[in-house]
Amino acid sequence: MQRETLSDEDLAGYFYLEGIARMMSDDDMEGWRKQFADVMARDFATTWGFEIIEDWLEEATITEEKKEFILEITEQFKKHL
């Protein structure tokens, strides 16, 4: 997959899911944070549904830090609905 060929919406989804995966596996977030912020600053609309992630978070047995992070990036992404 070539990220350069993705639409802004698809790129946002890519970085959103990558951020969740990185947080869950305790990976370094430094470079990811800038990339996510850059994509979120773009003007695009999304049709993503976030219910699956939000429902999972209600039941997930993960740290509050991880839940808060995922909720934060979800809210950022939802601004493009």
Residue at 21 is within a domain: yes
The answer to whether position 1 is within a domain reads no
* Within a domain: 2: no
Q: Is residue 51 part of a domain?
A: yes
pLDDT at site 43: 97
Cα(81)–Cα(74) distance, integer angstroms: 11
Rounded Cα gap, residues 51 and 55, in angstroms: 6
Provide the 3-class DSSP secondary structure of residue 79.
coil
Q: Is residue 68 part of a domain?
A: yes
Structural domain contains residue 57: yes
Which domain range does residue 13 map to? 7-78
Total domains in the chain come to: 1
What pLDDT, in 10s, does the model give residues 30-55?
Answer: 999 999 999 999 999 999 999 999 99
Going by pLDDT thresholds of 50, 70 and 90, the confidence category of residue 1 is low
